[in-house]
Amino acid sequence: MFEIAELGQTIKKSKYEELEPELRTQLLLAQEKVKASDFPVIILISGVDGGGKGDIVNLLNEWMDSRYMRTIAFSKPSDEEKERPKFWRYWRAIPAKGAIYIYTGSWYSNPLSRRIYGKINDEQLMVDLKHIRQLEQEFIDDGALIIKCWLHLKKSVQKERIKKLEKNPDTRWKVTKQDKKHLKMYDRFISIAEKVLAETSTVDSPWLIVDGFDVRYSSLTIGKHILTRIEQHLGQKKEEEQLNTLHSDKTYGLQRNLLDSLDLSLKLEKKKYNALLSKYQSKLNKLSRQAHEKKLSSLLVFEGWDAGGKGGSIRRLTHSMDARNYQVIPIAAPTEEEKQHHYLWRFWRHIPRAGKVTIYDRSWYGRVLVERVEGFASNNEWKRAYSEIVNFEEAMSRHGTLLIKFWLHIDQDEQLKRFKAREKISYKKYKITEEDYRNRAKWDEYSTAVNEMVIRTSTQQNPWIIVEGNDKKYARIKVIKNYCKFLEKKLD
Interval 434-449 mean pLDDT? 87
Check: CB of residue 308 under 8 Å from CB of residue 409. yes
Number of other residues whose CB lies within 10 A of the CB of residue 197: 20
Query: Mean pLDDT for the chain?
Result: 92
Instruction: Give whole-number Cα distances, 218 to 7, 57, 157, 279, 399, in Å.
Output: 12, 11, 15, 68, 39
Fold entry, domain 259-491: Rossmann fold (3.40.50)
Interval 423-442 mean pLDDT? 77
Strands annotated E in 305-341: 326-330
Interval 14-20 mean pLDDT? 96
Which H or E run contains 47?
strand 41-47
Check: CB of residue 414 under 8 Å from CB of residue 304. no
Check: CB of residue 110 under 8 Å from CB of residue 87. no
Threshold 0.85, pTM exceeds = yes
Residue 51 has pLDDT above 90, yes or no: no
Which sequence spans correspond to the domains of the chain? 3-243, 259-491
Residue 246 has pLDDT above 50, yes or no: no
What are 121-130's pLDDT values in tens digits? 999 999 999 9
When pLDDT is cut at 50, 70 and 90, the band that residue 423 belongs to is confident
What are 31-46's pLDDT values in tens digits? 999 999 999 999 999 9
Interval 78-99 mean pLDDT? 95
Predicted pLDDT at 239: 67
Instruction: Give whole-number Cα distances, 7 to 3, 153, 177, 182, in Å.
Output: 7, 9, 28, 22
Which H or E run contains 476?
helix 472-491
What residues contact residue 262 under an 8 Å CB cut-off, 6+ apart?
409, 466, 468
Residue 379 has pLDDT above 50, yes or no: yes
Predicted pLDDT at 255: 44
Predicted pLDDT at 429: 66
When pLDDT is cut at 50, 70 and 90, the band that residue 5 belongs to is confident
Interval 295-317 mean pLDDT? 96
Predicted pLDDT at 6: 77
Residue 422 has pLDDT above 90, yes or no: no
Nearest to 371, CA basis, from 294, 276, 445: 445
| Three-class SS state of 182 | helix
| Alpha-helical runs (H) found in 213-297 | 215-243, 270-293
Predicted pLDDT at 478: 98
Predicted pLDDT at 245: 45
Could you give the CA distance from residue 63 to residue 238 in angstroms, rounded to a whole number? 26
| Three-class SS state of 164 | helix
Residues of the chain with pLDDT > 70, as a percent, come to 95
Residue 256 has pLDDT above 50, yes or no: no
DSSP string for 93-105: TPPPTT-EEEEES
Interval 355-383 mean pLDDT? 96
When pLDDT is cut at 50, 70 and 90, the band that residue 244 belongs to is low
CATH of 3-243 among 1.10.287.70, 3.40.50.300, 3.30.470.10, 3.40.50.10240:
3.40.50.300
Nearest to 80, CA basis, from 92, 72, 96: 92
Predicted pLDDT at 3: 77
Directed axis angle between helix 122-141 and helix 379-399, to 10°?
Answer: 150
What are 408-421's pLDDT values in tens digits? 999 999 999 999 98
Residue 353 has pLDDT above 50, yes or no: yes
Residue 428 has pLDDT above 70, yes or no: no
Side-by-side strand order, sheet with 326-330? 326-330, 357-361, 298-304, 402-409, 464-468
| Pairing verdict, β 298-304 and 357-361 | parallel
Could you give the CA distance from residue 4 to residue 213 in angstroms, rounded to a whole number? 12
Residue 50 has pLDDT above 70, yes or no: yes
Predicted pLDDT at 435: 77
Backbone angles phi, psi at 467, to 5 degrees: -110, 120
Could you give the CA distance from residue 293 to residue 10 in angstroms, rounded to a whole number? 59
Q: Which letter, b or e, does each residue of 81-116 get, where b requires 16 or more Cβ atoms within 10 Å of its Cβ?
A: bebbbbbbbbbeebbebbbbbbbbbbbbebbbbbbb
Q: How many residues belong to the chain?
A: 492
pLDDT: which is higher, 288 or 438: 288
| Three-class SS state of 294 | coil
The most confident of 2-6, 127-131, 261-265, by mean pLDDT: 127-131
Residue 430 has pLDDT above 90, yes or no: no
The most confident of 177-181, 244-248, 257-261, 336-340, by mean pLDDT: 336-340
Examine domains 3-243 and 259-491 and report if their fold is the same: yes
Predicted pLDDT at 170: 85
